[in-house]
Amino acid sequence: MTVSFHKFGDKFFPGTGDVKETGEREGKFYAINVPLKDGIDDTSFTRLFKTIISKVVETYQPGVIVLQCGADSLAGDRLGCFNLSIDGHAECVRFVKKFNLPLLVTGGGGYTKENVARCWTVETGVLLDTEIPNEIPDNEYIKYFAPEYSLTIPSGQIENLNSKSYLGTIKVQVLENLRYIQHAPSVQMQEVPPDFYIPDFDEDEQNPDERVDQHTRDKQIQRDDEYYDGDNDNDQNMEDV
């Protein structure tokens, strides 16, 4: 299963990645696309990331996770258009690590090289449970990190075009697509490592203003004679990132 959080729309290259693109033939519903607009910030991104990744892991029960940490989503990227700080970016790595599954972490995009170096340094520290001082020590590349000479960068100031209603719609669509594979015969039955668990994450407690409205919840109510047991509230069993 693939899960991608990315910029989409405005003829942005490569033009694929709509939420409706879910895979083909035997892979139908095993490609999850989370299309985002310009300016998404730490709060909106991490909440959406945690909600969707929690449900993906709960439903698909992977034996291993490959996490690509593209840094072009950081504020100030030469080609990117998001507002993420390094702390917000790293919070997603910290959350995935909590699943206690075998985890391979790779680099990815990123076109402001000094911020790419900052990001992957901080996230390496997260993976190794190591606190790294914010001040960058003197080295032969120190001039690239002037004038702050620090690991952290502020979040960006691009207008956030991802409204609450837009993000809510994307979330509901992704979670609805996941229901198609909950009991699909093509899902390989396998023993999950004993230390696997879903990190606790209460999305509603973070920001009550972004709860799914009652009309959306009503549409998700299942009949008593459904052939599977599903969550009426797709946000259950999720905890904080």
Question: With 50 as the cut, is the pLDDT of residue 44 above it?
Answer: yes
pLDDT the model gives residue 7: 74
Residue 178 exposed, middle or buried by CB count within 10 Å (0-12, 13-18, 19+)? buried
Residue 222 belongs to a domain: no
- pLDDT category at 226 given cuts 50, 70, 90 is very low
State mean pLDDT over 114-128.
Answer: 96
For residue 189, the tally of other CB atoms under 10 A from its CB is 6
Residue 191 belongs to a domain: no
Q: Which DSSP symbol is given to 5? A: E
User: What are the φ and ψ backbone dihedral angles of 66, each rounded to 5 degrees?
Assistant: -105, 120
Residue numbers of the domain that contains 12: 2-180
Residue 47 belongs to a domain: yes
- pLDDT category at 67 given cuts 50, 70, 90 is very high
Question: With 60 as the cut, is the pLDDT of residue 26 above it?
Answer: yes
Tokens (6 digits) for 117: 């170096």
For residue 123, the tally of other CB atoms under 10 A from its CB is 23
pLDDT the model gives residue 130: 95
pLDDT the model gives residue 25: 87
Kindly report, residue by residue over 154-189, the tens digit of the pLDDT: 778 899 999 999 999 999 999 999 988 854 444 555
pLDDT the model gives residue 182: 59
In this structure, of 28-37, 161-170, 179-188, 228-237, the range with the lowest mean pLDDT score is 228-237
Residue 173 belongs to a domain: yes
Short-list 149, 147, 146, 124, CA closest to 136: 149
Look up the CATH number of the domain holding residue 91: 3.40.800.20
Residue 153 belongs to a domain: yes
Residue 226 belongs to a domain: no
Residue 93 belongs to a domain: yes
- pLDDT category at 224 given cuts 50, 70, 90 is very low
Neighbour-count burial for 92-112, b at 16+ CB within 10 Å, e otherwise = bbbbbbebebeeebeeebbeb
**How many structural domains are present in the chain?**
1
Residue 241 belongs to a domain: no
pLDDT the model gives residue 157: 86
Question: With 90 as the cut, is the pLDDT of residue 83 above it?
Answer: yes
